[in-house]
Structure 1
Amino acid sequence: MSETTLSTGPAAGPGFSPADRYRDIAVHLDGSPEDETRLAHAEALAVSFQARLTGIFVNPLPDPAVYVGDFGMLAVDDLRDAVIENGNATEPRLQERLARLAPPHELRRIDASPGMLEEAVASEARWNDLFVATCPRGRDNARWSAMVESVMFNGGRGLFLVPPQAPLRSVIRTVLVAWVDNRQSARAVAEALPFLRQAGQVHVVTVSEKAHGRMGGAEALADITAHLVRHGVEATATVLGTEASPADGLLAEAGRVGADLIVAGAYGHSRFREWILGGVTEDLLANSPLPLLVAH
């Protein structure tokens, strides 16, 4: 791997102000053991930014479309009753768990069938500044891929994705921004500004198959890094030239700089399997050992 780095120099802007904080953070809950991982990260973020935390308890009802005939309708009614009863047992446990959190908080519950459930969760995401969920990898977490996809593409806000069972990082000090000159990357940077303002180091990184320009392509990042400086963010711009996949190059660079968070645009169409741009977003979701902040 080859790289070219351009430092912006010291930040010339105001210090971190209350206006740059996340005020409302939502976290996906489903009653599974993974709730503890999500809650640990969400609580730490809420404490760091002095934000209010809302737990979104998602209780998926059976899909009536897969049942036909009178017998099928009876079956779906029985299943629906069982799911609601299970949700009624889970909700008090989640209320008790949230009561032990330090930040101001509340619990909201969504009982809905596929399609309506994903839209309901995206609607909750829209009035929050950040939505915390698990990367949809592995059999247990992949069942939430449609919900994550809906928040990502329809929620309109940043999505903070935690690898399954990822240990909590005490402070997010170093952030790697995976930059491409397009709308999605711009959205991700805008949604991540509170993190960038708090970070001690910010690395803006792009991957190029062939180095070009007098600085190997780093001059192409001059505008975005200068923009960050005007927001009080000192950033280093790096162009990676790699024979590996872009995602592998970004993950290797994240490890090299000791990143605690990767910020990236979410590319693609309506489904995870259709994501484009060399599968970078999908590869990061599948393989990143670090939390991801993505936006579309």
Structure 2
Amino acid sequence: MFKTILVHVDLSVHAPARIRFACALAQAHNACLVGAAMVGVSRAVFPNGYDCKPGTLAASCFEPLANNAKRALENFEAIVGEWNIPYEERFVSDEADNGLTRHARFADLVVISQDDPEESMPDMAVQLPEYLIMNGARPVLLVPRTDPKPDRISSVLLAWDGSKEASYAMSGALPLLRGASEVNVVALAARDEEVQEFRDQQPALLDFLRRHEISPGFHIRDLRGDTGRQLLDLAAELNAGLLVMGCYGHSRMRELYMGGASRTVLADTTIPVLLAH
């Protein structure tokens, strides 16, 4: 079970849906929901916490940012008040990437939103989801910019390629897999040798999940084209409400320049995705 869920809190148009989704998860797992709002200024500027004397030049620069974080926490408190769950608020003197990464060390799961081109900076080399997945200590649950309702996740698609990243994602998703009414494991094979390798792994993988009271279906499909696109299409075909996958199993630089499953899913998913590196 998840006992501590960390959710990114800001003034984004997607923040209310993200927070409600995290609230539903916290309620389903009897977890404490921690809402973290970042000032947006590097921790190096305020190593001992945000502190600006009113009327100073520093205050004129940073006070509007601090007030935005406080407003975001007020919105968080108003939404959480609709749910019967324990919660905590964190006013974090840092930027979103480093701040969330530090606080993720003390959570079971981190909930953030998919990047939205209407709100993001497209020229950034690494966006917030990528940074957290690569540098954070916990799995990341990405809520798509379609802002789905916080319904129970009844069907899950688990992507399996035998990698450390896929195994970590599977372990991190166990509470969600146990709560689902249907779980399907899919392995995409490009060669006959990979088909045999996945068949060899199947008994151990299914035994592992069954010991956690999960009885999944297991599918081996031919890899055709973009892995990420095929996973999203399979999720739609199987009516999955959640995709679980390892992220950046190949070199991240290779995926940044050549594309790949991780980048496709991060950019194009319309369902929640749990990712781990």
TM-score range for the pair, normalised by the shorter chain length: 0.7 to 0.9
Q: What's 1:28 paired with?
A: 8
Q: What's 1:125 paired with?
A: 104
Contact 1:62 1:79 in 2 (8 A): no
Matches within 5 A, 1:277-288: 279-288=260-269
Closer, same or farther: CA 217–99 of 1 in aligned 2, 3 Å: closer
% identity of equivalent residues: 26
Q: Find the partner of 1:46 among 11, 21, 26.
A: 26
Displacement of 1:271 in angstroms is 6.5
Closer, same or farther: CA 139–270 of 1 in aligned 2, 3 Å: farther
Displacement of 1:276 in angstroms is 8.0
Q: What's 2:163 paired with?
A: 182
Query: Separation in 1 of the partners of 2:196 and 2:70?
Result: 61
Closer, same or farther: CA 138–273 of 1 in aligned 2, 3 Å: farther
Displacement of 1:295 in angstroms is 0.8
Contact 1:60 1:111 in 2 (8 A): yes
Query: Separation in 1 of the partners of 2:215 and 2:238?
Result: 15
Is residue 243 of structure 1 aligned with residue 224 of structure 2? yes
Q: What's 1:94 paired with?
A: 76
Per mean C-alpha deviation after superposition, the further-off stretch among 96-105 and 233-242 is 96-105
Task: Specify the SS of the correspondent of 1:138.
Answer: coil
Displacement of 1:220 in angstroms is 4.2
Query: Separation in 1 of the partners of 2:104 and 2:40?
Result: 17
Q: What's 1:18 paired with?
A: none
Contact 2:186 2:221 in 1 (8 A): yes
Task: Specify the SS of the correspondent of 2:11.
Answer: coil
Displacement of 1:223 in angstroms is 2.4
Q: What's 1:264 paired with?
A: 245
RMSD value over aligned CA atoms? 3.1
Is residue 37 of structure 1 aligned with residue 20 of structure 2? no
Matches within 5 A, 1:90-169: 90-112=72-94, 114=95, 117-141=96-120, 146-168=127-149
Query: Separation in 2 of the partners of 1:77 and 1:272?
Result: 39
Q: Which amino acid aligns with 1:97?
A: I
Q: Find the partner of 1:205 among 186, 191, 197.
A: 186
TM-score normalised according to structure 2 size: 0.83
Closer, same or farther: CA 92–199 of 1 in aligned 2, 3 Å: closer
Per mean C-alpha deviation after superposition, the further-off stretch among 54-63 and 234-243 is 54-63
Query: Separation in 1 of the partners of 2:153 and 2:164?
Result: 25
Is residue 82 of structure 1 aligned with residue 64 of structure 2? yes
Query: Separation in 1 of the partners of 2:251 and 2:102?
Result: 17
Contact 2:141 2:272 in 1 (8 A): yes
Contact 2:34 2:87 in 1 (8 A): yes
Unaligned runs of 5+ in 1: 1-20, 66-73
Displacement of 1:216 in angstroms is 9.9
Q: Find the partner of 2:209 among 218, 224, 228.
A: 228
Structure possessing the higher relative contact order (Cα contacts under 8 Å, 6 or more residues apart): 1
Displacement of 1:213 in angstroms is 8.0
Closer, same or farther: CA 121–275 of 1 in aligned 2, 3 Å: same
TM-score normalised according to structure 1 size: 0.78
Q: What's 1:254 paired with?
A: 235
Displacement of 1:32 in angstroms is 2.5
Closer, same or farther: CA 241–255 of 1 in aligned 2, 3 Å: same
Query: Separation in 2 of the partners of 1:142 and 1:250?
Result: 27
Displacement of 1:209 in angstroms is 2.2
Residue by residue, what CA displacement relative to the aligned partner does 1:140-198 show, whole Å, maximum 9, x if unpaired? 14589643333212221111101013222521111101111111001000100111111
